Structure formats: structure tokens, C-alpha cells
Amino acid sequence: EVQLVESGGGLVQAGGSLRLSCTASGITFDTYEMNWVRQVPGKGLEWVSYIGSPSGPIYYADSVKGRFTISRDNAKNSLYLEMNALRVEDTALYYCTSFTNYYDRSGDKISDGFDLWGQGTMVTVSS
């Protein structure tokens, strides 16, 4: 079965740290580009970070740059998000998602989509 399973969320005080993990199964993980996307409950979606395959490039949203670090261990089929200097506004449900490239018949890339999603792990930062 193809699935992504996140873990590592929890309650932490502002300024603290957490490490999120995402374990993939049913896919050739090292060929997949991966992302973290977050969502405040009841609100919209915000992209957080991207890591290419097998290990780069890496991109971050400005809101987390310098505080969060994305990484992957392809031997363990795992994606990570190290979150430091957490802020109250980082409170959200964090989803691990894979990124699939789509091409037209000429071989030109026409889009990338977040096609596989985990169930999410909740991060709550208290003041």
C-alpha cells in the first residue's frame, strides 16, 4: 500500500524545537521529490519546504527560512523537518507530501503536483 505516515508532532513552548518525521511505503522513495505543507486547523494551506531527489535542491518558505531544516534519509524511506526557534504562528497540522512532475507528449514539463499526502501531525506552540 502506498502511504506516507508523519510523526513527531506535539506541544512545545515558543522558542523550542521539534523534529517531524515522515515514513514512506509502497513507493521508490529516493526518486520522489518531497515537501512539507502546513495548515492551521480550519484555515488554508501553506507550503513550507521542498527537497528534491535524491537529496536536493532545497527550498523554504520565507516564514521558516533559517529556523527549519528539511532533510531525507533514502535508506530509511524517511523525510524530516527539524524545527527550531518555534513561534506561536507555527502552530499547524504538518503534512508530508510527494511532488510528481507532469510532462506533455513533447516531454516538456507542464506542472508539478502534490499527489501523495500523509495524514498530518499536529504541532502546537504555546506562548
Q: Is 31 exposed, middle or buried (0-12, 13-18, 19+ CB in 10 A)?
A: exposed
Give the integer Cα–Cα distance in Å for 83 and 121: 13
Give 13 or 40: the residue with its C-beta nearer to another protein: 40
Q: What contacts 107, CB < 8 A, 6 or more positions away?
A: none
Nearer to another protein, 28 or 102 (CB): 102
> Which listed residue (80, 120, 121, 125) binds another protein by CB under 8 A?
120
Residues 45 to 64 in contact with another protein, rule: CB under 8 A:
45-47, 50, 59, 61-62
From 13-21, 67-75, 83-91, 108-116, span contacting another protein (CB under 8 A): 108-116
Residues that contact another protein, how many (by CB under 8 A): 24
- Nearer CB in complex with another protein: 101/126: 101
Cα→Cα distances 70→34, 103, 107, 108, 115, Å: 10, 26, 29, 28, 19
CA atoms of 45 and 27, how far apart (whole Å): 25
Residues that bind another protein (CB under 8 A): 35, 44-47, 50, 59, 61-62, 95, 99-100, 102, 104, 110-115, 117-120
